Structure formats: C-alpha cells, structure tokens
C-alpha cells in the first residue's frame, strides 16, 4: 500500500509521539483521552527482545492510565515471587529489596521498578500503584530467594522441617554468591547444587508437614504456601512441555486466566498488564507471532467470560517495532507494506500511538486482535535469556542464520613479471587492481560464522603484434575460499563484526594464441613453443580478514578487507610441467570486497 493511501485514511501527527523519557509531561496519548475513562482492563502485547524500550513504555503507560483511567493495579507476566519483590520495593523503596532485584532480574527491569517507585512515593498511601504476578513460577531462582526471605530469624523450626529450612537458606546464599555473582552473561554458567532439585524436596516436605511450617512461618505462611503452590503448578507445566504436546501452552494460559480472575475477585479495580503478544490478542492466538499453534489467549478468555462482563471494557495494544521480524514472516505479509510505510515516517527512538480502526487495511487484519498499536522505532536491547524462562540453569540457544550474498572485490596483485612478456603498450593493464566477482554462502550461530566463497576474476585480454605476427593473450582465474569468522557483535542482531581467516585454492589460466599472415612462417609461442597454449598457475592460499555486515530485515550488506597469502609454487605450468624460466606470479596481496545479499533464520 502506498504512503499516500495511509495518509488519506488517517491524518498522522508524527510530532505527537512518546519519547519514553522520564518526564512528567505526558505526550502522545491524546487519541486515548476520551476512551480510557470508560474502560477497566488495558493489556499490551510486546516482543520481549526489546527490553529497554518495553520497560520505559511500561512506566509511561502506567503513569498515563493512572491519571486518565484511574488504574491503580499492574499485572505482570511473572510468578508471585518476582511480583512480590517488585511490589515490596515500589511500595517501600527498601534498598535491600532493590539490591536483590538488581541481582536477580535484568537491569532494564530493575530500572523500571525504580522509576515506578519514584512515581509511587509522592502518592497518598491509599492511591499507590500495586504490582501483581499472575504467571507460573517459571523462575525458580527468584522463587527460592523469596522463600528464604520469608524465613524468620527469631524462631527455630521443628525437627521435621529443620533440614529443609536450612537447605533453603544455604541454597539462597549459594546462588547469590555462585550463580548470580558477576554480570548476567557470565553468571549462568556451571553449578554444583541444583535449585530445582532443592525445591522439589522442599515441596514434598511442605505438603507432609504443613502444620509445622505454619507454626514456624507465622504471618508469612500464606505467601510461602502460595509460592509453593505456584511451583507445583510449574512442575506440572514443565512435564507437559517435555511431552512435546500443546497441552503446556493451554495449561499456562488457563493458569494466568484463573489467577487474573481470582485477583479481580479479591481486588476489584482497573488494571494494566504488559505481556507477550501471544497473551494480549482479544481473538484466539493464531497470528501476531503465535501462528505456530492456535489457542485461547489470556485477553480472549477474559473477554469471553460472561460472568466477568468485560467484553466491552478491555482495550488491547499491540507493540510493533521498526526491526521486528514478525511482519516480515508469512503471518503478516498482507500488511507488511502498511507497517513499513508508517515506520518510514517515524523518527528514530520514538513511539507513536496508532488507532488501527482508522486504517481500513490494518483494521481488517487486526481489529479482532488489538485496538491500537504502539509503533516503536527504538532498537532492541542486548539479546540474552529471558529471566522468567529459566527454571534451572540452561544454555541459551541463539538463532542460527544463513546468508546468501553477491561479492564484488578488488585485489592488488603483482603481475609485472607477466606484463614484461607483452609489448610496452599492453603492459599497463597488468598494473591495475584485479576485479573479482562471485558469491558467498554463510552459516552463523552462537557468534561463529562459516563462509564459502567462489569468485571469478574479470579477464585481462591483449593483442601483441610483431610484423606479420599477432599474439592474443587472455588471463583469467578463479578462487575458492573457506572462511571461519568470529562475530565480535554476536549479541547485536542487525550488525556482524567479523574477524577470521580462510584457506582456499586459486588458479590463474593464461591462454596464448599466435596467428600470422605467412602460414609457413609461424613464430614460437608466447611463452613456450606452441602456437596455441593454455598455461596454469594454481595456488594454495590463505586469508586474514575483517568484515562488517548490516542486517536490515532480510537484507544483508557490508564489506570485508584483508590480506591474501600464496603458500605454493609461483611458477607457471604447461601440461602439468613447470616452466622454470618463465614468469612467477603470486596470489598474495591486499584485497577488499563488498557484499549484498539476503539472510534467513534457520
């Protein structure tokens, strides 16, 4: 769809956008001013990769909905333990709690809780924002840490539970010092003690000795018991996932729905929640990056629950990103042009609220899913494992990718020994840069890239005359190289900074053909003794190189520079025999190559 068609459907004020800065002036929400006072639930769907901008938008949305819709409650895609930590901090500002948050969650999440605390501290006690978690206890590290915080120091546990109480304390200290000691990339490495195995033993003991736990925990028993219950449900969910069935997806969505319904019953009011897009669509989840399996989403279940009477009280927002792969997949192909046209007019590092109903094409495609889009042109933050997905220490599987590209290169080779065999008028062409053209196929995963390159040189042709004799020469060649690169920017999806080298095989072909106007007086060949010959100069070569590639959606472009080395005999050959007194030609020399191609996820 053209840009002008979209503009005619909706007049867009690109100055009325959100900067996501932490300022008090709220700008960019004007389209909601007349809508939100009459609604009760506000649900946004994000791509978790964009942690930084998602977190900033989370804070801005809460501030706006607090003022204009009366929202005082925030639900999170997290278990009870994580939301308890967050809520304790935003209510009290307790630095000890924040120190735990900083250690156990990503810095972007810690920062958003800090910003919400600063907003909350100026509000009256009965008007503060509260945080609730409705998901499974998918992060067992955080769950065990919170369980340890609930253990009283003033009472001794009964012998029937003492072993497990000490184990909770010991495991919490162990994961503080060993598992989360250091930055988030290095912390989740090897471990001696298993948190999941520890929790399974604690859960079993808890169900046998609940009375002893109740006597020991006192007022903290209810929260302790609810976290244990969440962990039990998580174990069931994991077992369903291990069976490779869709039951796990349905189980989790039902759990979140039931938790939300119980929360609405016990704590009436208006709510804002920001989840993955699979949970936020008002229709059954069958697209929006959830096309792999159709299931009733959280928002859909809430909307369809006749007892809740929320069908007309839910507003949903889809958060769409300028570099999001979702709308480049088959799922969103019908609206890719419309979305890209909007982003082309949106400045970098801005977020714009877009009313889907005012664009006929987008409304036809998305109206059953979302009411509005937040068009987000911020870049994704560093891609690392999502905290809440960690049940035990696991390796994070990075995406693998294949890239097909055209390569155009220039190389500085010393061909002067060959040029000297020509007439002076033809020698200059052998002093120019050699042009290579070919193709690359690159496989990359986990910061390592393997590239195969096959290139052919642009031929150099000459005609040399001597009286009635003419000698035509044609120098051509090919080069195959197998590279191994290390990507210094493996966590940056749109850019690859490659360092590495290759080993390969290259060959020059030199065709010489002599003609004469006096057939009985044919002179000797140009290099040898025949009137028509093909000389060859093969070489085992190696390269050291550095490359910088940019990945914009499916498009990849960039370049590579380096030096080539020739490890073989530089003498020419005719019919397999070395010409010992002939010219010597090497493939060694500096080179530079430009790349243009497409990439695909594997």
Contact 478, 454 (CB under 8 A): yes
Quick one: pLDDT at residue 386? Answer: 35
Q: What are the tokens at 91?
A: 């209510």
Residue carrying the six token digits 């809460």:
62
- C-alpha Rg value of the chain to the nearest Å: 33
The better pLDDT of the pair 575, 272 is held by 272
Range of 248-252, 291-295, 513-517 with top mean pLDDT: 248-252
pLDDT band at residue 404, thresholds of 50, 70 and 90? very high
pLDDT band at residue 186, thresholds of 50, 70 and 90? very low
pLDDT beyond 80 at 444: yes
Quick one: pLDDT at residue 288? Answer: 57
Contact 547, 571 (CB under 8 A): no
Quick one: pLDDT at residue 334? Answer: 78
* Cα 540 from Cα 413, distance rounded (Å): 15
What angle (nearest 5°) sits at the alpha carbon of residue 456, between those of residues 454 and 462? 165
* Cα 520 from Cα 518, distance rounded (Å): 5
Residues 6 or more apart in contact with residue 283 via CB below 8 angstroms: 297, 300, 368, 369
pLDDT beyond 90 at 49: no
The 10s digit of each residue's pLDDT in 57-66 is: 999 999 999 9
pLDDT beyond 50 at 88: yes
Full-model pTM:
0.62
Quick one: pLDDT at residue 284? Answer: 65
Contact 481, 453 (CB under 8 A): yes
The better pLDDT of the pair 349, 456 is held by 456
The 10s digit of each residue's pLDDT in 496-511 is: 899 999 999 999 999 9
pLDDT band at residue 366, thresholds of 50, 70 and 90? confident
**375-405 exposure pattern, b = at least 16 Cβ within 10 A, e = fewer:** bbbbbbbebebbbbebbebeeeebeebebeb
pLDDT band at residue 225, thresholds of 50, 70 and 90? very high
What Å distances lie between residue 297 and 132, 249, 280, 373, 402, CA to CA?
Answer: 19, 10, 7, 18, 33
pLDDT band at residue 287, thresholds of 50, 70 and 90? low
Domains within the chain, CATH numbers bracketed: 401-601 (2.40.160.20)
pLDDT band at residue 7, thresholds of 50, 70 and 90? very low
Closest CA to 386 of 43, 110, 51: 51
Q: What is the mean pLDDT of the chain?
A: 85
pLDDT band at residue 525, thresholds of 50, 70 and 90? very low
At 507, is the secondary structure helix, strand, or coil? Answer: strand
């Amino acid at each position: 769809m053209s840009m002008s068609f979209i503009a005619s459907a909706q007049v867009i004020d690109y100055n009325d956008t959100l900067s996501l800065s932490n300022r008090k002036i709220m700008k960019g929400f004007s389209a909601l001013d007349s809508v939100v006072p009459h609604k009760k639930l506000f649900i946004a769907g994000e791509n978790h990769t964009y942690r930084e901008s998602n977190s900033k938008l989370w804070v801005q949305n809460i501030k706006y909905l607090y003022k204009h819709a009366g929202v005082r409650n925030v639900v999170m895609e997290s278990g009870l333990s994580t939301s308890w930590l967050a809520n304790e901090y935003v209510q009290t500002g307790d630095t000890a709690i924040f120190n735990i948050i900083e250690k156990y969650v990503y810095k972007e999440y810690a920062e958003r809780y800090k910003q919400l605390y600063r907003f909350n501290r100026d509000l009256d006690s009965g008007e503060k924002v509260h945080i609730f978690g409705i998901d499974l206890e998918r992060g067992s590290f955080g769950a065990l840490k919170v369980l340890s915080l609930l253990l009283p120091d003033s009472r001794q546990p009964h012998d029937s539970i003492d072993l497990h109480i000490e184990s909770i304390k010991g495991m919490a200290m162990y994961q503080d010092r060993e598992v989360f000691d250091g930055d988030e990339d290095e912390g989740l490495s090897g471990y001696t003690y298993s948190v999941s195995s520890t929790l399974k033993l604690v859960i079993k003991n808890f169900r046998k000795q609940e009375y002893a736990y109740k006597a020991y925990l006192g007022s903290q028993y209810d929260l302790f018991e609810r976290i244990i219950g969440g962990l039990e449900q998580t174990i069931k969910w994991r077992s369903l996932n291990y069976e490779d069935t869709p039951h796990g997806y349905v189980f989790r969505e039902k759990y979140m729905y039931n938790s939300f319904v119980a929360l609405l019953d016990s704590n009436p009011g208006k709510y804002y929640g920001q989840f993955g897009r699979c949970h936020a669509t008002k229709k059954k989840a069958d697209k929006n990056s959830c096309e792999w399996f159709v299931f009733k989403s959280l928002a859909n279940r809430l909307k369809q629950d006749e007892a809740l009477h929320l069908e007309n009280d839910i507003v949903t927002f889809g958060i769409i990103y300028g570099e999001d792969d979702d709308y480049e997949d088959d799922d969103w192909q019908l609206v890719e042009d419309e979305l890209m046209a909007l982003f082309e007019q949106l400045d970098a590092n801005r977020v714009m609220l877009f009313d889907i109903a005012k664009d006929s094409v987008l409304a036809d495609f998305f109206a059953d899913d979302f009411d509005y889009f937040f068009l987000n042109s911020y870049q994704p933050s560093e891609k690392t494992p999502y905290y809440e997905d960690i049940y035990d220490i696991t390796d994070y599987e990075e995406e693998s990718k294949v890239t097909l590209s055209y390569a155009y290169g220039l190389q500085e080779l010393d061909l002067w020994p060959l040029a000297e065999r020509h007439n002076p008028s033809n020698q200059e062409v052998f002093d120019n840069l050699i042009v290579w053209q070919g193709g690359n196929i690159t496989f990359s995963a986990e910061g390592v890239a393997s590239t195969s390159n096959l290139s052919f040189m642009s031929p150099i042709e000459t005609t040399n005359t001597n009286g009635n004799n003419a000698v035509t020469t044609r120098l051509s060649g090919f080069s195959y190289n197998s590279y191994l690169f290390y990507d210094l920017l493996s966590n940056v999806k749109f850019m690859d900074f490659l360092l590495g080298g290759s080993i390969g095989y290259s060959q020059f072909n030199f065709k010489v053909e002599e003609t004469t106007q006096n057939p009985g007086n044919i002179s000797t060949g140009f290099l040898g003794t025949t009137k028509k010959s093909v000389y060859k100069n093969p070489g085992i070569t190696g390269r050291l190189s550095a490359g910088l590639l940019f990945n914009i959606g499916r498009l990849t472009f960039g370049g590579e520079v380096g030096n080539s080395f020739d490890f073989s005999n530089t003498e020419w050959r005719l019919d397999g025999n070395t010409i010992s007194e002939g010219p010597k030609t090497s493939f060694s020399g500096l080179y530079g190559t430009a790349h243009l191609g497409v990439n695909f996820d594997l």
